[in-house]
Amino acid sequence: MQLDPQTQKTIDTWLSGNYDEKTKSTIQQLIDEQASTELTDSFYKSLEFGTGGLRGIMGVGSNRINKYTIGTATQGLSNYLLKKYPSEKICVAIAHDSRNNSDVFANITADVFSANGIKVYFFTALRPTPELSFAIRELDCKSGVMLTASHNPKEYNGYKAYGPDGGQFTSPDDQMVMDEVAAIQSIDEVKFQRNEANIEMIGDEIDQKYLNQITALSVSPDAISRQKNLKIVYSPIHGTGITLVPPALAQFGFTNVTVVEEQSKPDGNFPTVVYPNPEEKEALTLALKKAEEIDADLVLATDPDADRVGIAVKNTDGNFVLLNGNQTGSLLVNYVLTAWQEKGKLTGNEYVVSTIVTTPLIKAIADEKGVEYFDTLTGFKWIGKVMTELLGKKQFVVGGEESYGYLVGDLVRDKDAVISCAFIAEMTAFYKDKGSSLYEAMIEMYVKYGMYKEDLVSITKKGKTGAEEIKAMMEKFRNNPPATLGGSAVVTLKDYELNKETDINAGTSKKLGFPKSDVLQFITADGSIISARPSGTEPKIKFYCSVNEPLASASDFKATEQKLNDKIKTIMNDLQA
């Protein structure tokens, strides 16, 4: 069996180094079985911080999530913190989700921090990611870690690292942490010996502060009081949402919440779903069944770490349909800004943030309301960065991204499904109080601003070979961009890797002004926007497509929707030609 020299060197290091016998015997078994593909994928590189921190398949190896990669990451983060704050008391917060081994990895993280003399606030039990972000700011921490792989399959786990603002690390600090991790030459440099004196357990008191501050954000409590019996079905999909979403809904004033019993218990095997992702219709099967049984007004489902939420509502034919992340995000922005406007709260100092692959409808809404709009790269850490930079200067109201992550208010610096569930329920009550369903409110939004339709195609390419294939696909699009898409000429090419926007007709270019990111965007003459982007957290390349056209009246909705769907299909076929 012939392996790449660097891969073989790393394997040899693990076999001869200070690793436990179970790890070594597992590696030896793979060698004996000549499992070259698995050995290569497990050892050909070290896991790196991407847009979502450290994330990967659990198992042995430098490219897997295990005690040693978690320990090395935490030692590197500790070294970074000790250098950055040499004369200050350093505190960190740690939380974990319901995934298999998340609690084990959380304790290993606490071991290493505490062994480095860093004070650890450790949640007594599983908690949502956004509460960890809240706790960092509330407890004046310098950093925090959430053990989660978000909505990935059960084989995955991960490690989200946060800065003192409660947001995930961005440039230059993310690179500084990566450099410290990379500088660790031996597992012997990692301090695994736990120091109990440096660990303080936290829980209920943070929960209540968080819930109280969420409730204070409510804009339409009077509408809720009149619609408190709104029928809501909620599923945590075996995750952390069960700890805080039902209490948040109750504290907002909703009295008729039905939890999907089969999915209410936290379980890292996610036994009732193929994929614990609220973006997938299959994950909401049980919730939709329950909704039909009780004739619900709203279906809510959160992912395992409760930072994303998917929703379903009844359409004009009385059938439950899932809204995509762009639809929900647009509705939420439109509702919050409208409610603020009605209450006279818009002063001209407010702003909204979204990402370059999220629907342009959000900007259209913000523009019409006279609210400043900011664009960021993909990943909520960039939205959080804008919020931190503008703290004390302007007021963040609402924002979000197409991947089902939203935020209302500035309590946290990450997407927050707890806050979002409460506000989506409030939004539903607000429109019901005016005699409208959420679906009808969406159509009216399209009549006012134009109908926007988006779709996302993800192509999975696993392992080292897959990573090389994704790179080749991006090079092909970069070197030979399509001339037309969906029958419309490509007039603008935005290359975020090269920081360049090119006007194809004029043959001129200008800088984009974003941090470097491997994203290509094609804009056509008719206003369609098509983006190609390798995922930072999964072995996928993603193609985003946004098309739009005016909607004259609600009666034209179905025909216009079909027309836009057909256009998206043509564009996606053109991309793969």
CA 409/CA 414 separation, integer angstroms: 11
Catalytic hit among 42, 78, 143, 150: 150
Two tokens at 291? 């909704």
Q: Kindly report the number of other CB atoms within 10 A of residue 174's CB atom.
A: 19
Whole-Å CA distances, 86 to 82, 90, 260: 5, 9, 49
CA 421/CA 310 separation, integer angstroms: 9
> Is 58 in contact with 101 (CB distance < 8 Å)?
yes
Residue 27 is which amino acid?
I
- CA nearest to 116, candidates 4, 198, 177, 207: 198
Q: Kindly report the number of other CB atoms within 10 A of residue 172's CB atom.
A: 10
- Cβ neighbours of residue 12 under 8 Å, at least 6 residues apart? none
> Is 548 in contact with 527 (CB distance < 8 Å)?
yes
User: Residue holding tokens 């030896």?
Assistant: 28
Alpha helices for 201-252 (secondary structure H): 204-215, 221-226, 241-252
Residue 145 CB burial class (10 angstroms; 0-12, 13-18, ≥19):
buried
- Gyration radius of the chain over CA positions: 24
Q: What is the DSSP letter of 183?
A: T
Q: Kindly report the number of other CB atoms within 10 A of residue 564's CB atom.
A: 22
Two tokens at 556? 């034209």
CA 404/CA 230 separation, integer angstroms: 23
Two tokens at 401? 């991204």
Residue 353, φ and ψ in degrees, nearest 5: -130, 140
- In three-state secondary structure terms, 525 is coil
Per-residue HEC secondary structure of 334-346 comes to HHHHHHHHHCCCC
Two tokens at 367? 């523009």
150 catalytic? Reply is yes
> Is 302 in contact with 270 (CB distance < 8 Å)?
no
> Is 98 in contact with 239 (CB distance < 8 Å)?
yes
Q: Kindly report the number of other CB atoms within 10 A of residue 509's CB atom.
A: 14
CA 162/CA 81 separation, integer angstroms: 11
CA 145/CA 226 separation, integer angstroms: 40
Task: Give the active site residues.
Answer: 150
